[in-house]
Amino acid sequence: MNKGTINTVLGIVIIFGILIGYSLLTAPSKEELLKKRKQQDSIEKLSIIKDSIDVAKRKGATLVKDSASKSPKKDSTVKVVAKDSTNINGAFGKFSASVKGINKHTVIETDLVKIKFAEKGGGISYVELKKYKTFDKKPLILFNTDTSNYNLTFQSDYKFINTSGLFFSPYFYKPSFQGKDSVVIGGKDSIQFAMRLYPNVNDSVKHTDNYIEFLYSINSDNYMMHFTVNFVKMQKIVDANSTYLALDWKLDLTQQEKSHKNELMTTTVYFKPSADDVDFLKESKDDKKEKLPNIKWVSFKQQFFTSTLISSTSFSSANIETATRKDTLFPRYLKTLTTSLTLPFSNSEKLSYPMAFYFGPNHYKTMRKYNLDLERQIPLGWSSPYILGWINRWAVIPIFNLLSQTGMNYGIIILILTLILKIVLFPIAYKTYMSSARMRVLKPEVDEIGAKFPKKEDAMKKQQATMALYKKAGINPMAGCIPMLLQMPILIALYRFFPASIELRQESFLWATDLSSYDSIYNFGFNITFYGDHISLFTLLMTVSTIIYTKLNNQMMGTNSQPGMKFVMYAMPVMFLGFFNDFASALSYYYLLANLITFLQMWLFRKFVDEDKIHARIQENRKKPAKTSGFQKRLEEMAKKRGYSQK
């Protein structure tokens, strides 16, 4: 090991030592952490009490637990008792009879999802995806009553009526289901279920001929659920001068995956303008909001799952927002996503707003079949340069899906995929090697030119002489770079593909229990700045192989880089060690395989390529009249100009 290599290794070790020492010195003690946690708990409790008081003041109501809540049922019920009937009648007008009620739930379960509908507010209060589990094997619940708020706002008696505080009545379109609070369907079955809000005939009786209806059409084998808001004979109830309705939806999203950091960085609001491409609010910003016109759909997207509201035409406008709450008690809390949608309103005997909900996985094939661009939420490199999305869409995904159908372990599938890609890229790798071989056999002559012009002021003469040598030998110095550039889009496309592939979720291979998340072989119990709180073995092996590849490549190219450049070349893999440590283990595993296969290719090239013949061929080329390419001419002109300016 030469002195330069020893210095590089020592430098890397010193950097790691400094980072680890800094992390240990600045890490808070257990007593400090406990004290800080108690302070945070006190703040959160005070905030909750304050919010409860504010809500009670606004609604003028007191929550009293109903005797039915003592039953062993999982969903407790709550009765709302009016504290001031005059205040309630004034606030809710023709809907005052719907202020009182018991918050029961109707459950509809299909082969794919379990959904609960709350009588209070009439909306969806719970969604569970039955074919998936969280990283710790718990039911995968997209949201529930505690983390969701759904509301329709309209005008009546010149007051804004908010449906989230009113009680709806459940209604099944199939008579045999009437009166049931739980229905299970399977196979190709479907069901139509509605929540209806009736106005008053008098202060205590509801008028059942007029109603606002939330109609849900559910198919057992589909993640898409049709949703229609109907206004039936409400022209005398809703103010005649009303021109719009407001549909508000807010979710407090919670962690589903092993890496809270990665899931947080992939959780945001996506939206599809009616006449434009899919867009989103940047995940890196804690608080972000926008107002948008003519929106086709709005989606609350997590790393692998999505809750989407879709209009059959378009929403007139949409206010969207992402925020991070500081007062939440949810231990797995990620972000709060909100949208307020505007629907045009015209007072008529029957008015319908057809929409749909998508509650399901971010699976490319599943989303694509709806032809709504929902699959654009999967970060496959859709934006510029577009070639990344094309590579994933037309090459990587079809091959990956074809291999997945064999039932093989996904670790083996990634190995086969890597071999296929390396075979496709073999001509480029061969051309790159041959270019480096030509440069290598000429290195002694290049060194002679360097010895002939040792002074710094002769640098331009040295460069011109070297270019003249390459020109006579028929070598293009850029020939080795172009093949490398051609490989970059594929490498970046796969960097996008593996972390976004739900097929890898909770799939194990060797020591990795989940290829879509990091593979921890040891947890420190504390966080190291830049590195993290665990050791990912695939990332460590990838880093070591990259350092070895860098060294072998330098030897193969026969280059003597400056000490500063050498440090950068070896420091980059170490930086990747910290960056990839929390990433999908499938990605680190792929890069490790790519490096190992590259080592094999380099060995085969060195074994079967005769560099003596290459040198002899170059000497023959030097005897022939040299052809100057356009690129070489431009380089020579630039060199001459720089030489003249130096004089």
What's the mean per-residue pLDDT of the chain? 80
Tell me the average pLDDT across 626-639: 64
**What CA–CA distance (Å, rounded) separates 393 from 387?**
10
Res. 337: pLDDT tops 90: yes
Highest average pLDDT, of 95-99, 176-180, 499-503, comes from 499-503
Res. 12: pLDDT tops 70: no
pLDDT band with cut points at 50, 70 and 90 for residue 577: confident
For every residue of 600-636, DSSP letters joined together read HHHHHHHHH--HHHHHHHHHHHHHSPPPPPHHHHHHH
Question: What would the pLDDT profile of 468-496 be if each residue is shown by its tens digit?
Answer: 777 777 676 666 566 667 678 888 888 88
Q: What is the pLDDT of residue 55?
A: 39
Q: Choose between 108 and 87: higher pLDDT.
A: 108
Q: What is the pLDDT of residue 318?
A: 94
Tell me the average pLDDT across 336-355: 92
Question: What would the pLDDT profile of 546-573 be if each residue is shown by its tens digit?
Answer: 888 888 777 765 555 555 566 677 778 8
**Residue showing tokens 């739900």:** 502
For every residue of 66-97, DSSP letters joined together read -GGGGSS-SS--EEEEES-HHHHHHHHGGGGG
Tell me the average pLDDT across 97-121: 93
Res. 103: pLDDT tops 60: yes
Q: Choose between 223 and 487: higher pLDDT.
A: 223
Burial class (CB in 10 A: 0-12, 13-18, 19+), 133: middle
Res. 119: pLDDT tops 80: yes
Q: What is the pLDDT of residue 548?
A: 87
pLDDT band with cut points at 50, 70 and 90 for residue 101: confident
Q: What is the pLDDT of residue 604?
A: 87
Q: Choose between 74 and 606: higher pLDDT.
A: 606
Highest average pLDDT, of 112-116, 389-393, 456-460, comes from 112-116
Compute how many other C-beta atoms are within 10 angstroms of the C-beta atom of residue 404. 13
Res. 394: pLDDT tops 60: yes
Tell me which residue of 120, 126, 118, 309 sits closest to 229, measured CA to CA.
Answer: 309
Tell me the average pLDDT across 110-120: 95
Q: What is the pLDDT of residue 64?
A: 29
Q: What is the pLDDT of residue 126?
A: 96
How do strand 105-109 and strand 182-184 relate by DSSP bridges? parallel
155-186: b (≥16 Cβ within 10 Å) or e: bbeeeebbbebbbbbbbbeeeebeeeeebebe
Q: Which residues pair with 280 in a beta bridge?
A: 270
Least confident of 31-40, 191-200, 306-315: 31-40
Question: What would the pLDDT profile of 233-248 be if each residue is shown by its tens digit?
Answer: 998 889 888 888 999 9
Highest average pLDDT, of 118-132, 322-336, 549-563, comes from 118-132
Q: What is the pLDDT of residue 315?
A: 94
Q: Which residues pair with 300 in a beta bridge?
A: 269, 307
CB 201 within 8 A of CB 207: yes
Taken in order of first residue, the domains within the chain and their CATH numbers are 60-376 (2.70.98.90), 386-506+610-647 (no CATH)
Highest average pLDDT, of 76-90, 275-289, 361-375, 515-529, comes from 361-375
Tokens representing 644 are 């003249």
Question: What would the pLDDT profile of 395-427 be if each residue is shown by its tens digit?
Answer: 889 999 999 999 899 999 999 999 998 898 888
Q: What are phi and psi of 84, to 5 degrees?
A: -145, 95
Q: Choose between 628 and 538: higher pLDDT.
A: 538
Question: What would the pLDDT profile of 132-187 be if each residue is shown by its tens digit?
Answer: 999 999 999 999 998 999 899 998 888 889 999 999 999 999 888 888 999 999 99
**What CA–CA distance (Å, rounded) separates 381 from 385?**
8
% of residues, the chain, pLDDT over 70: 76
Q: Choose between 609 and 416: higher pLDDT.
A: 416
Q: Choose between 1 and 144: higher pLDDT.
A: 144
